[in-house]
Structure 1
Amino acid sequence: MKLLQALFFPPEQPGGVSSMIPYLQDKFEPPEWEMELFSLPKRIRGKGTDEIKFHTFDWRQYEYSAIVQKYMQTYRDYLWWTKLRLQQSYDLIHAHHPIAGLAMKEVYPDTPVIQSIHSSYERELILNRKIKEGGPEHRFLCSLYKELEHRADRMFTVSESFRGYLSPHVDHPEQIGVIRNGFDNKRFKPIPHHNDVVQLVTVCRLVPAKGLDVLLRACAELKRRGISYVLHIIGDGPIREELEQLAMELGIYDETIFYGYTLHPEEFMPFFDIFVLPSRAEAFGSVFAEAALCNLALVGTKIGGIAEQIEDGVNGLLVQPEDHLALAGALEKLIADEEYRSRLAGTGLDKAKNCYSLDRVVDELKNIYLQFKQSSE
């Protein structure tokens, strides 16, 4: 069976779907399976010129928005690149971004296209203060879900909570499947260690949606209570300077290390003690599963896919978003009790191995792919 995995970002892009898809190729072995990856290089800009029409709504009612214009140009570019680079046929295409799915169905109208939706771009833009909820950009991006439902042969997402998020924007939410992300256990190597001062770590893009301002305020509260720690922030993004300034204003800059972008944080994540990320929105939250596979205790917020991964007090701790005092309390509890911290980390590691293994995802995908093959025969 000849498969195409259509990504948006190049496979080397860190996080999210790129944590899983590139590792699938080793699991889909020829001659029964042939798998190819496809994505849009970052250097491709302003190449596409196709006239775009959708089946379920008129996107031109939103074309006065610069964000919508940019999105549509990116779609045209993806379409241009697809027509230029892909000349062969496939038995099945699995798209992992709305633009990828729409472009693939345009170029390969007779080929089954499975659409996986891994995150909400419009929610990210709202939380990152780029667009307004209910505004034209928000309405445009939400309209794409119904267009995808109309065009794709099957839709999937990464968590039950995100399927609920999509429900108001499609006609048949009950037909959306859930495939949770999976991770290759060989990438993660927990290492027994002891730190005299507890080491906190977070890994994310530095944007408002991740709630790092809340984390810094929680850490300032820990310092006010006389609790020792070091906070490691791995990642880069548009608000790095703002976060560094906030750390200085809160008097915790000496306790905080900003690493910037790191390609493989899982290589040294096992040397930390607690993973914490007070996100304001997460469709799944791949980094929590990755941290659990490194045997770190987890602290997250009661939202989206995080709350599906963490059972409070069993394999991690959950707090309400925006509550820096509750977050400080959860961190204090783990910092003060090494045995409790170790117990939560061990339970988290076991759950991650059982629920988020790459082999489990491979089995699910093979079954789905074969269903399409059988129906076409």
Structure 2
Amino acid sequence: MNILQALFFPPEQPGGVSSMVPYIQDRFKAMGWQTELFSLPKRIRGKGQEELPFVTFDVGPYKGNATVDKYLQTLMDYLWWTRLRITKSYDLIHAHHPIAALVMKRVFPDTPVLLTIHSSYERELMLNGKIAEGGLEHQFLTGLYGELEQLTDGILTVSASFRDYMAPYLKAPGNVKVIPNGFDEKRFRPVSHENPIPQLITVCRLVPAKGLDVLLRACALLKQRGKPFVLHMIGDGPIRKELEALAVELDLYDDIIFYGYMLHPEEFMPFFDIFVLPSRAEAFGSVFAEAALCWLALVGTNVGGIAEQIDHEENGLLVPPDDPEALCEALDKLVSDPIYRYNMARAAWNKAKQVYSLQRVIVQLQRVYESFRPA
């Protein structure tokens, strides 16, 4: 089969789907399948003029809203770039973003278009304080789920919890297949080490949705208990200055290292002890599987795909979101007991190897792709 993997972000972007799909491409190429990647370069902004029609709702009442207009312009830009750059046909198009799926079905109406929805843009905007639940932008963005269900030939997502999240906006949510993200084990090499002081690490974009303010408050409580640690924060984002100010306010600045953006954090993670990220929502949370493959003990919130990766007190610890005291208690358990920490990390590594290996995901995707094979 000749398959196009249609991304939104260019494949060189770090994290999540953008870094995962090239590995999928390589595996299918090794099996003799023709697979290509396509994405919208960052420089393409404001080029498109051709509007896409919507079939399940009237987009007219939403125009004039800044968030909606930006989304519609991005759709037109992606359409312009697709018409300009793609001159051949494919047996199947696997889109990894709603914009890519809507455009590809417009350009290739007779080609099966499969969509994996990896995350929720509207939920991210709400948690980051950009839009209100039930507002105009929220109505438009959630309305897209029905549009995608109507136009695409199949929908996948990365966790059962995210399928449940989408269910109210779909006519047949039971048709959505769950295939979690997969990771090439060769990228992750656990390193034997003994840190005299427990080393905590978090890797994410610095935005409110990740709950990093909660993490700092939990660390302040941990410090008050007299427990030594160092917290390493890898990532950048709009609230970095706020987090640095909060660290100073909580008397934590000497206990935290802010690294900023890092292209390949998985090369850095194996030298630490505990991965912690108290997200307020996650469709999957790829970084938890990556940390597990680096043999780190895991602490996360009982939300979305995190709760599907972590079995509480078996391969990590789960805490409620927005609860610094509970997060402090979980960190205290791991910081205080190296043997317990080691056992959690080993169990996390075992589960990640078994459930989130790239080969397992390739097998699942191959079955789905085969169902679209031309007669």
Would the TM-score normalized by the shorter structure come out above 0.5?
yes
Corresponding residue of 1:12: 12
CA distance in 1, matches of 2:19, 2:292: 14
Secondary structure at the aligned position of 2:359 is classed as helix
Q: CA deviation at 1:19?
A: 3.1
Shift in Å at residue 367 of structure 1?
A: 1.1
1:126 aligns with 2:126: yes
Deviation at 1:168, TM superposition (A): 0.2
Deviations for 1:173-210, whole angstroms, at most 9, x for unmatched residues? 01000010000000000000000000000000000000
Contact 1:294-1:349 within 8 A present in 2 as well: yes
Of stretches 362-371 and 299-308 in structure 1, the one that deviates more from structure 2 is 362-371
1:147-186 Cα deviation digits (max 9, x unpaired): 0000000001000000000000010001000010000000
Identify the residue that residue 251 of structure 1 maps to in structure 2. Answer: 251
Deviations 1:260-301 (A, max 9, x none): 000000001000000000000000000000000000000000
Q: Which runs of 5+ in 1 are unaligned?
A: none
- How far is the alpha carbon of 1:323 from its aligned partner? 0.3
CA contact (8 A) 2:65 2:137 kept: yes
Is 2:308 aligned against 1:308?
A: yes
1:67 and 2:64 correspond? no
Amino acid at match of 1:254: D
Kindly indicate whether the alpha-carbon contact (under 8 Å) linking 1:7 and 1:100 is maintained by their aligned counterparts in 2. Answer: yes
- Judge conservation of contact 2:274–2:297 (CA < 8 Å) in 1: yes
Q: Distance in 1 between matches of 2:6 and 2:52?
A: 20
The alignment covers a number of residue pairs equal to 375
Contact 1:142 1:169 in 2 (8 A): yes
Secondary structure class of the residue paired with 1:49:
coil
Amino acid at match of 1:56: T
Q: Is the 8 A contact 1:190 1:293 kept in 2?
A: yes
The offset of 1:26, in angstroms, is 1.8
How far apart are the structure 1 equivalents of 2:233 and 2:214?
A: 13
Question: What is the alpha-carbon distance in structure 1 between the residues aligned to residue 190 and residue 234 of structure 2?
Answer: 18
Provide TM-score, normalisation by structure 1.
0.99
The answer for the alignment partner of 1:85 in structure 2 is 85
Pairwise CA distance, 1:53: 1.6
**How many Å separate the matches in 2 of 1:24 and 1:233?**
29
Aligned residue type for 1:282? E
2:175 matches 1:175: yes
Q: What secondary structure is seen at the aligned counterpart in 2 of 1:342?
A: helix
Is the contact made by 1:19 and 1:183 (CA closer than 8 Å) also made in structure 2? Answer: no
Residue 80 of structure 1 deviates from its aligned partner by 0.3
Secondary structure of the structure 2 residue equivalent to 1:24 = helix
CA contact (8 A) 1:62 1:136 kept: yes
Q: CA RMSD in A?
A: 0.8
- Matched with 2:324 is 324
**Does the 8 A contact of 1:275 with 1:299 survive in 2?**
yes
CA drift of 1:116 comes to: 0.5
Distance in structure 2 (CA, Å) of the matches to 1:32 and 1:346:
35
Superposed counterparts of 1:286-297, under 5 Å: 286-297=286-297
2:136 matched residue in structure 1: 136
Q: What's the counterpart of residue 209 of structure 2?
A: 209
Q: How does 1:275-286 map to 2 (within 5 A)?
A: 275-286=275-286
| Distance across 2 between alignment mates of 1:156 and 1:61 | 29
Matches within 5 A, 1:1-377: 1-29=1-29, 32-373=32-373, 376-377=374-375
Shift of 1:31: 7.7
Residue 60 of structure 1: how far off its partner (Å): 1.6
**In the TM superposition, what is the alpha-carbon distance from 1:30 to its structure 2 partner?**
6.2
Q: 1:219 to 1:31 in 2, by over 3 A?
A: closer
> Deviations 1:306-339 (Å, cap 9, x if unpaired)?
0000000000000000000000000000000000
How much has 1:32 moved relative to structure 2?
3.6
User: Separation in 1 of the partners of 2:31 and 2:283?
Assistant: 35
Question: What is the CA–CA distance in structure 2 between the aligned matches of 1:179 and 1:151, rounded to whole Å?
Answer: 21
Distance in 1 between the 2:95 and 2:48 partners? 20
Deviation track 1:37-65 (CA, whole Å, cap 9, x = no partner) reads 00000000100001232000111211121
Counterpart contact for 1:65–1:137, Cα < 8 Å: yes
Matched letter for residue 243 of structure 1: L
What code does the residue aligned with 1:8 have? F
SS at structure 1 position matched to 2:26: coil
What is the distance in 2 between the residues matched to 1:272 and 1:348?
Answer: 15
Post-superposition CA distance 1:62-85 (Å, at most 9, x none): 112101000100010000000000
Aligned equivalents of 1:258 and 1:211: distance in 2? 16
4+ residue stretches of structure 1 with deviation over 4 A? none
Q: Residue type matched to 2:202 in 1?
A: T
SS of the residue 2:361 aligns to: helix
Any stretches of 5+ residues in structure 2 without a counterpart?
Answer: none
| Equivalent position SS for 1:119 | coil
